[in-house]
Amino acid sequence: MRLPGIATLILTLTFCPAAFGAAPDIGIVARIHFNTQVRDFTKSRAFYRMLGFTAGRGGFPKTNTHEMARSLGMYDLCTYEFFDAEVVSIPDSWGPATIDIIQFVIPYNDAPPYALPNHLGMAYAALQTTDLASDVAFLKSQKVKFLAQRFGTPGNQFVFFKDPDGVLYKLSETSAPPPPTAAPLPSAPPGDAEADLHITAMPYIAFNVRDFERSYAFYRRLGYTETTPLPEGGTLEEARAYGLDRPFKIRGAQMALPHGDKHAIRIVQWLDPYDDEPPYAPPINHIGIDRLALYVLDLDAAVKTLKAEGVEFLSDIAPCCSGTGLDETGIINIVDPDGIFVELVGPIAVRGPQPPPQWCAAT
């Protein structure tokens, strides 16, 4: 039996909610950040500042409760410890452009990040620029490593570069309009022509999945109901920009929230070439992009609804992030159908400090 095309599938799921099971909105309204672990916080912080992530918020406790440790899949620890952490962002960006940088000490995992953009998991984040040629020249002058040569023509081109740990970013220059939303988004700001770099936005995070239909339905359930099909393949020249050695075939769509900050994710099933190595396993301390944090209006209610529907979580809700257990905000990590971590953050009923397991006293 011939499978429907991506456009037909999207139309079916959009206009026939029964195709994926109609359910109430759980209240996701914004992308807070994505999280990446680093080997050298000072070096990485300087790198991201160079890219334009010059606003930052730090001061987070370097250890925390056993509930917070469990929320990150650290089931055998009573707490964790990191060297430093900071949430960094691009001031006045078009849409959310924020990264949570953490250097863990305990537990520490030095395994390298995904080498290519077609690996299962959150393989890369996209950054938008108004002047790609100038930015590439500047980044090369700073000894930044690139995956391959850029692809496309001025006004519609991209290139992949790496952060100090090898994490992949897709730097894009495009004249295309932003993805469709319930209300129009403003145009990307022109930026400063005299600046070293011209990055103005973080348009999407890429999720590579095993089964497009399954993941598409899952993320629609979370609220990503504004969708645009992606081209179903690329030429050898384009494939080489992805670090691949032959033309590629995919099934994919860009998916956006129709409300709140209207941010987007990009869901892609790589058909050829296909890499079946699984995404990062827990705990959430792997070098590279390891979770996407989303703000939800009522975390207790959202989790209750999703658990009743059989959604998998790494732990129960953990009060976040003072280390006292008295917080009015909580976090919890969804495990998506491929094992990718999607963190929900939002207001909770105050629980009060919870006693750690008895075995913690011995450690």
| pLDDT tier for residue 184 given thresholds of 50, 70 and 90 | very low
Task: Kindly tell me if the per-residue pLDDT of 175 is higher than 80.
Answer: no
Residue 22 has pLDDT above 80, yes or no: no
pLDDT at 187 over 50: no
- Cα gap 223→9, rounded to integer Å: 17
Residue 309 lies in a domain: yes
Give per-residue pLDDT as tens, 128-147. 999 999 999 999 999 999 99
Tell me: the pLDDT tens digits for 195-219? 789 999 999 999 999 999 999 999 9
- Angle subtended by helix axes 6-15 and 212-222, to nearest 10: 30
Tell me the C-alpha distance between 179 and 67, whole Å.
38
pLDDT of residue 173: 95
User: Residue 343: what residue type?
Assistant: E
pLDDT value of residue 18: 40
Q: What is the reported pLDDT for 363?
A: 57
In a domain, 362, yes or no: no
The answer, yes or no, to whether residue 75 has pLDDT greater than 50, is: yes
What pLDDT is attached to residue 362?
61
How many CB atoms are located within 10 Å of the residue 233 CB?
A: 14
Which residues have C-beta within 8 Å of that of residue 75, sequence separation ≥ 6? Answer: 69, 283
What are the distances in angstroms from CA 113 to CA 51, 88, 208, 285, 333? 20, 20, 14, 11, 20
Cα 19 to chain centroid distance, Å, stands at: 27
Q: Classify residue 160 as exposed, middle or buried by CB count within 10 Å of its CB (0-12, 13-18, 19+).
A: buried
CA–centroid distance for 72 within its chain: 16
Residue closest to 340 by CA, chosen among 287, 291, 285: 291
Q: Classify residue 338: in a domain, yes or no.
A: yes
**Diameter over CA atoms, the chain:** 62
Say yes or no to pLDDT of 279 above 90: yes
In a domain, 247, yes or no: yes
Residues 311-345 pLDDT 10s: 999 999 999 999 888 899 999 999 999 999 999 99
| Whole-number pLDDT of residue 24 | 79
Tokens at 126, concatenated: 């996209």
- Average per-residue pLDDT for the chain: 90
Q: Which residues pair with 98 in a beta bridge?
A: 89
Q: Is residue 361 part of a domain?
A: no
**Residue 182 in this model has a pLDDT that exceeds 90:** no
Does residue 354 lie within any of the structural domains? Answer: no
pLDDT at 190: 46
For residue 119, which of 266, 1, 279, 304 has the smallest C-alpha distance?
279
Query: Is residue 356, in this structure, part of any structural domain at all?
Result: no
User: In the prediction, which pLDDT does 9 show?
Assistant: 44
By DSSP bridging, strand 151-153 and strand 199-201 are: unpaired
- Phi then psi for residue 12, to 5 deg, are -60, -50
Q: Per-residue pLDDT averaged across 95-118, rounded?
A: 97
Look at residue 351 and tell me whether its pLDDT is greater than 90: no
What local confidence, expressed as pLDDT, does residue 140 receive? Answer: 97
The answer to the question of residue 250 being in a domain is: yes
- Count of structural domains, the chain: 1
Identity at 187, one-letter amino acid code: S
Comparing CA positions, the residue from 280, 315, 322, 289 lying closest to residue 77 is: 315
Range of the domain at 80: 6-347
User: Does 19 have pLDDT greater than 50?
Assistant: no
Q: Which CATH number is 103's domain given?
A: 3.10.180.10
Lowest mean per-residue pLDDT among 139-148, 189-198, 274-283: 189-198
**In the numeric block, which tokens belong to residue 329?**
């905000």
Task: Provide the terminal-to-terminal Cα distance of the chain, rounded to the nearest Å.
Answer: 58
CA distances from 326 to 60, 303, 319, 349, 352 (A): 15, 19, 7, 10, 5
The phi and psi torsions of 198 (rounded to 5 degrees) equal -130, 35
